[in-house]
Amino acid sequence: MGQRFCGKLQVNIQFCHKRGTPQNLSYYSKVIIIAHTQSCKMKKVLLSLSLAVLGCTLPVQLTVGTPTPTPTVTLTPAPTQTPLATPQPGTDQNPLILALAPSPRPSEEMVSAGESLAAFIESRTGYRVVTVAPASESLLVEALAKDNAHIASLSPYGYLLAREDGSATVLLARVRDGETFYGTQIIVNRENDFTAYFDSTRNENTTDLVAAMKQFQEKKACWSDKISPSGYVIPLGLLKQAGVETRGEAFLDNQPSVVRAVYADDICDFGATFVDARNSPILEADYPDVMDKVVVVWRVPKIIPYENISIATSLPFEMRRVIQRAIVDFMLTPEGKSAMQTLYGFDEMQPAEDASYAEFAAYVKASGLDLPGLIK
């Protein structure tokens, strides 16, 4: 399916779905632009030759006296065409687009699982649904903004991006260990000169954020990695909100390593982990006293979300509600649960609301990090 034009040749290839190529899926095609200047040059040469030949063969006429008046030609403007109305979403002409998990090379199992979910939604709602495979989450978020995707699984950062431009809203939240959100904590070595403001007995902080964080001014931090919500982004947001600047930082790849570093007290002054990385099984044998030696200075409650299923806000509210019900029913079947695990890695989900992401969004913004840079 190619389109020729002067200067370039545009070739669109390969859609991921198997049932036709609706117009709103062209965003997902691979576009190859190649130089096509030779044909343009040939056209110019042929045009020049044609004019030369015509110029030589036409007779030369001299007019003496009063020339014959040239009749005036009146151009009638073409009638303005009324733009065609966009077909209703969920129809054959404008199907709903279900995005697989972002991957440059989705497996056959993932494609099959996506087709199963699409077919189930169709059977329950009557809406036409096709599947696509975005190469990255950045492209997926862009597709939602352009109405080239309607149903998708998003990471916490991906959802914040889609939330910012109003292109998507959360439909269902992933559940892990019975929770849809989790917390983070700032930890120190008990033997150092820091004050812990978290009361583990009452499970609450005992002072305000600024008072707890100011002791880390010009201190060195241990983080897990540069995109971890609990091991870097949210704790950094805490420090920024408190007006605290650290002296340096070390990234240690994973959160048990942050606990080890704080325990050993040889790399950094403090660290950050999810609640509670100190209980990680890989630490138990080598650090039996870790819960006593590594203490929590401050704890952020469960505000960090897991992945979710989001839906385009361009769809009518009632359509979103019906699709939500269909996905929940799909997950309740053995085949559906297996497909969702293959497709998105979800074992359990529950309905969610956008308002529950507000505090997470505030801390991410406070971190000052580039939000698009946090997704792949």
What is residue 61's predicted lDDT score, i.e. its pLDDT? Answer: 38
Domain ranges of the chain: 1-53+88-175+307-358, 181-305
What is residue 36's predicted lDDT score, i.e. its pLDDT? Answer: 32
Hey, which CATH number is domain 1-53+88-175+307-358, 3.40.190.10, 3.40.50.11260, 3.30.530.20, 3.30.300.30? 3.40.190.10
What is the Cα–Cα distance from 66 to 304, expressed in whole angstroms? Answer: 90
Q: Tokens 């983080």 belong to which residue?
A: 223
| pTM (whole model) above 0.75 | yes
Residues of the chain where predicted confidence (pLDDT) is lower than 50: 1-21, 27, 29-66, 70, 72-73, 75
Instruction: Identify whether 147 is preceded by a cis peptide bond (ω within 30 of 0).
Output: no
SS3 198: strand
Architecture of the domain delimited by 181-305: 3-Layer(aba) Sandwich (3.40)
Query: Considering only CA atoms, which of 128, 69, 136 is closest in space to residue 99?
Result: 136
What is residue 80's predicted lDDT score, i.e. its pLDDT? Answer: 61
What is the Cα–Cα distance from 332 to 301, expressed in whole angstroms? Answer: 30
pLDDT, tens digit (0-9, with 9 covering 90-100), for 320-357? 999 999 999 999 999 999 999 999 999 999 999 999 99
pLDDT, tens digit (0-9, with 9 covering 90-100), for 72-116? 445 455 566 666 678 899 999 999 999 999 999 999 999 999 999
What is residue 22's predicted lDDT score, i.e. its pLDDT? Answer: 52
What is residue 103's predicted lDDT score, i.e. its pLDDT? Answer: 95
